[in-house]
Amino acid sequence: MAAVNSRGRMTTLGGIAVALLSLLVVRVWFLQVVNAESMDERAQAIRTRTVRIPPERGRIFDSQGRIVADNERLLTITVDRETVKDDSVRAELFSRLSGPLEMPAEDIEIAFKSLRNDPLADIPLKVGVSEDTALFLRERGEDYPGVDVREDWKRDYLYAPLASHVIGFLGAIRESQLSLYLSLGYEPNELIGQFGVEQTYESELRGTPGYIKYEVDTLGNKLREIAYEPAIPGQDVVLSLDLAYQQFAEQALQTQLKVRQRTEAGKVYLAPGELDPGYAEVNYYKAPAGSVTMMNWATGEIIAMASYPTFDNRWFNAGISGSKFQSLFPNTQDPDQSILVNRAISGRYNLGSSFKPFTAYAALNSGQLPGGSTYRFKDEGTYTLESIDRSLCQQGVKCVFKNAVCSSSGSPCRYGWVDVEAALAVSSDAFFYKIGEQIMTQRNTNDILEQEVRKFGFGSSTGIDLPYEFSGALPSLALKKKLAESGAITEESARGYYVGDNVQFSIGQGLLSATPVQVARAYSVLASGGNVLRPHVVRYLLAPGTPDSKPGYADIENGRIIRDLRTSQVISTVDMSGDRREPILRGLKRVITGPGVTSDYYHKTTGEKLFANYPYEILPIAGKTGTAQGFNNLPWNDSSAFGSFSLALNRPFTVVAYLEKSGYGSQAAAPVAKCMWLAIAGQWRLPEVFPAEPLDVASTAVAKSQSMPNPQCLSTPYTGLRE
């Protein structure tokens, strides 16, 4: 019996031995046949070292050739990871390196471990060493095995903080982006465009890395060069921006915001002549933010795009500590304080009366007004909804909508008989309230107003070549339900889309939201006679290596164009034939030149006093003011808007200014636009543009404050009008 058990055990052991031997054979076969190439690569990597050659990033120029983004050559000390894989060897080497690098060995170790790196690439230890330090280490390779010197590039923004929101900056690849950029051939610790043009045109600006492959000994010392592939620089980018106008726009915007912050806001009335005692103290406009957009209405090119608060994009490669960076760019839930927001393309705004030209078009194009442009309406200062049962008005339903208050009477302005032209000129709310109600109730509650204004691009992104554009929103039942789901409005208010919603929509209030660049495009449609353009901030892409014409300037005229974006990019057209455009155009001209209307007394147009001395004969313009009512309808929460365009084919520009919580459109935004128009007309000198002073890393300001050398063009006497 024992012999039988012994034979069984031997059989079992033999089976196990055969199985193990089979596994060993399979593993050897896998290593020698299937994985032979991988093993060969690993062995080859031990005998060779590949040094990556980063490409010089393409430069960025303004439309006049000013170099706004350049590159500074840097020397980086790296170490071969195989050489220092042993902890004791690494500690000894880093101790010896601490002297030449002027860094404690502990900091070198931190640098070694802190960055995400390609597992086969050398690891950077210190960026930006001197030529002397690099030469010292190169000449003593036997003392510093595995240590090498690599050429890198640092981005330099020569005119910062000018146009920082448009130009952008470079930043580390975020964790959420890592897999994408690794698949595109980037190194884990490579810098990429994270904002503005730097982000949008990252693939064109980056270039193609090169490499040098060396044979090395066991200590990591180079024996010979095996292969070499030069880096290909990135393409150069020419902006449509002109820094002279850009600087002037930023100066005018910041100066005016400071003026408004020192200006007393209007008083709060319970009824005509009766002040609200709850707001008896003096209140000033908050004026925390704003934007100015200057666009070519014939091509879609953006000539200037100012946004405030602004920032100096040099902070992002200044090598400051995390705590310092956090103090400059704090996380905030207060939109007034948001810095890294280009308000021209990301601002979500009511437009107030600056939206009325498009309501007028909707009425004219849809045939809503009997007699079209000849239709007249008697404005008595208020408008009472005609489609609402009067009994509901006694139950809290708002049935009466008022014009802005006239300072002379303390009650809503009464403009008398007005047509489309006059209603735009003096900004009669009542005229547009009537359109807002009847364009809905007389057409089976169809969304005619929404459909018509969509033709101008409202409610959809413009497609501008900048990241983080907001597409805007047009009032609708679907939008109300979406807002209710997010908690922005009550579920009860989202049960239907009501007449009151459309009435508010007609004067640019309520649930309407749009960006200043959308407004600029829409006004450009009126200016051009119907072309809906795609705005863009890049004029063309040039082949790498554009030569300089003089210090600080590139010779863009002799650069080789790879892609030309100068031609207009027409997305669609709006029918401006017949009597659709002309009454609107006449009304917007009258905003600038007058005359106003006379009812119980003469009412000036909303821009007549401000533009009294404007040289209209040199550069004729048209425009519209707007005041967007803010929280609780308190005057200091009202935002100021002004849209305008030239009528001259040789200077086809649109200028839109929007100043948040700054008061009436005629008193805050319109003066900024007026300064821009005076400069465009050649009647106001543009200050010279100088390169920036070196960044003061000890500063606590995120950007150096700007102001106009001569702010007199902003002068705007009080008109007594809300717009």
Q: How does pLDDT run across 599-622, given as a tens digit for each residue?
A: 888 999 999 999 998 999 999 999
Rounded to whole angstroms, the Cα distance separating 161 from 256 reads 18
Is 300 in contact with 536 (CB distance < 8 Å)?
A: yes
Give the rounded distance of the alpha carbon of 360 from its chain centre.
Answer: 30
331-335, 349-353, 423-427, 506-510: least confident range: 331-335
Assign 723 a pLDDT band (cuts: 50, 70, 90): very low
Strands (E), 80-146: 123-127
Judge whether residue 434 has pLDDT over 60.
yes
Assign 272 a pLDDT band (cuts: 50, 70, 90): low
Assign 717 a pLDDT band (cuts: 50, 70, 90): very low
Is 266 in contact with 322 (CB distance < 8 Å)?
A: no
Helix, strand, coil fractions of the chain, as percent rounded to 5: 35, 20, 40
Residues 6+ apart with CB under 8 A from 450: 459, 474, 475, 476, 505
Assign 722 a pLDDT band (cuts: 50, 70, 90): very low
Q: How do strand 191-193 and strand 170-172 relate by DSSP bridges?
A: antiparallel
Strands (E), 89-135: 123-127
Residues 703-707 have a mean pLDDT of 94
* Exposure of 614 in the CB half-sphere (CA atoms within 13 A): 31
Assign 595 a pLDDT band (cuts: 50, 70, 90): very high
Q: What is the pLDDT of residues 195-229, one digit of tens each?
A: 999 999 999 999 999 988 888 777 667 788 899 99
Assign 643 a pLDDT band (cuts: 50, 70, 90): very high
With residue 675 as reference, give the H or E element that holds it: helix 669-680
Rounded to whole angstroms, the Cα distance separating 322 from 96 reads 28
CA distances from 281 to 266, 275, 277, 419, 492 (A): 11, 11, 9, 40, 36
Q: What are phi and psi of 553, to 5 degrees?
A: -130, 140
110-119, 519-528, 581-590, 665-674: least confident range: 110-119
Is 573 in contact with 555 (CB distance < 8 Å)?
A: no
Task: List, as one string, the DSSP characters of 437-448.
Answer: HHHHHTTTT--H
Of the candidates 654, 648, 644, 595, the one whose C-alpha atom is nearest the C-alpha of residue 623 is 644
Q: What is the pLDDT of residues 161-179, one digit of tens each?
A: 999 999 999 998 998 999 9
CA distances from 54 to 9, 131, 190, 219, 229 (A): 65, 18, 9, 25, 11
Rounded to whole angstroms, the Cα distance separating 669 from 187 reads 46
Give the rounded distance of the alpha carbon of 672 from its chain centre.
Answer: 20
Residues 6+ apart with CB under 8 A from 449: 359, 362, 435, 436, 439, 440, 502, 505, 506
With residue 571 as reference, give the H or E element that holds it: strand 570-573
Angle at the Cα of 433 from the Cα atoms of 430 and 436, rounded to 5 degrees: 160
What's the chain's average pLDDT? 89
pLDDT, greater one: 82 or 464: 464
pLDDT at 37: 54
Q: What is the DSSP letter of 434?
A: H
Judge whether residue 716 has pLDDT over 60.
no
Residues 550-575 have a mean pLDDT of 93
Assign 5 a pLDDT band (cuts: 50, 70, 90): low
Q: What is the pLDDT of residues 13-64, one digit of tens each?
A: 566 655 566 666 555 555 555 555 554 554 455 578 788 889 999 999 999 9
pLDDT, greater one: 515 or 629: 515
pLDDT at 719: 37
pLDDT at 282: 79
pLDDT at 567: 77
- Return the top range by mean pLDDT from 144-158, 241-255, 394-408: 241-255
Rounded to whole angstroms, the Cα distance separating 79 from 141 reads 11
The tokens describing 381, both together, are 């200062």
Rounded to whole angstroms, the Cα distance separating 292 from 516 reads 8
SS3 578: coil
Judge whether residue 1 has pLDDT over 80.
no
Give the rounded distance of the alpha carbon of 213 from its chain centre.
Answer: 42
The tokens describing 319, both together, are 């090598």
In the numeric block, the tokens 């009650």 are attached to: 411
Q: How do strand 123-127 and strand 269-271 relate by DSSP bridges?
A: unpaired
The share of the chain scoring above pLDDT 70, in percent, equals: 90
